[in-house]
Amino acid sequence: MAPKKSERTQLTRAVRQLRRIRSFYAAAMVLWAGSAALTGWQAAGSRQLWVCVLLLAVFAALYVTATVALRRLAVPATAGRAQRHATPPTVSNAGRHAPA
């Protein structure tokens, strides 16, 4: 049984929101990886380095969780599109001009 229109709308909204937050998590991972690299270069083994690595691990785990949730909510490519049907054979071309 196909999902109702409101369920489909909620599903597409959830997928869109998960994609948006996943890109945020990816940006945070890049930020904390850069920060950890810079901190490791300046003060290897310091508390700041371990905090950067911890936050990098947290955002990596959130990214993986969002990716898994997106795969579980996989929306078929045709779910959001209107179904197109072939024109019935009873439709005629009456009233149209023949090509010259």
pLDDT tens digits, residue range 17-55?
A: 999 999 999 999 999 999 999 999 999 989 999 999 999
Of 51, 73, 72, 57, residue with least CA distance to 25 = 57
- Residue 93 has φ and ψ, to the nearest 5°, of -100, 25
* Averaged pLDDT for residues 92-96: 60
Written as six digits, the tokens of 3 are 């999902």
* Averaged pLDDT for residues 7-11: 85
Tracing tokens 């196909």 back to the chain, one arrives at 2
Distance CA 42, CA 23 (A): 29
Residues across the chain: 100
Distance CA 12, CA 25 (A): 20
- Where is pLDDT greater, at 9 or 29? 29
Q: Does residue 78 register a pLDDT over 90?
A: no
Q: What is the pLDDT of residue 53?
A: 96
